[in-house]
Amino acid sequence: MNHISAILGKTVSLLKGIGAGCLVAMMLLTCADVVGRFFNHPIFGSVEIVGFLSTLAVAVALPYTHQVKGHIGVEILVRLFPERVQLVFEMITNLVALILMGAITWRMTIYAGTMKASGEVSMNLEFPEYLIIYATAFCFLIFWLVIFEDLLTCFKRLKGDK
């Protein structure tokens, strides 16, 4: 299990780096487009590219954010309970998230296949949008694996508390 966790950790770190690259690319492209517009030479398709990059930035950030417990949580009431009850709440939350992210990953993969079969492309650049959808589905799969790993960790902690 430790070997799989290490591979998952490296994958999450790689995705985090890709997300940072997307943010930098969005900033550079937006700045270049604004300067280009000032001189009457905007960058063709910059809005589409920034949209694709922002989609990828959000998708690649999800696994890392869950891994470091960076998602917003309402713990005002839950933190008043004993640690064991808090752990049960965390397990239930992770289980619901696991089911939801599994369904989202599955449906996104099907949707990307449908988009590929239809030949749908972006409006200006004619970029095949299914590639972005497949990449996002992959990120959701990694997110699902991180949630699953977290669920196993919660289960081990709960089992050890007995």
Q: Please report, rounded to a whole number, the percentage of residues in the chain having pLDDT higher than 90.
A: 79
Which residues face 128 on adjacent strands? 121
Q: 126's torsion region: left (phi>0), alpha (psi -120 to 50) or beta?
A: left
Q: Indicate the SS3 state at residue 40.
A: coil
Residue whose pair of structure tokens reads 């280009």 in the numeric block: 36
- With vertex at residue 152, the alpha carbon angle to CA 147 and CA 153, rounded to the nearest 5 degrees, is 95
Which run of H or of E encompasses 68?
none
Q: Please report, rounded to a whole number, the percentage of residues in the chain having pLDDT higher than 70.
A: 98
Where in the sequence is the domain holding 35, given as residue range(s)? 2-161
What is the mean pLDDT of the segment spanning 37-61? 95
Q: 42's torsion region: left (phi>0), alpha (psi -120 to 50) or beta?
A: beta
pLDDT at 47 over 50: yes
Cα-atom radius of gyration of the chain, to the nearest Å?
20
**CA of residue 123 relative to chain centroid, distance:** 25
Give the pLDDT of residue 162: 47
Number of structural domains (the chain) is 1
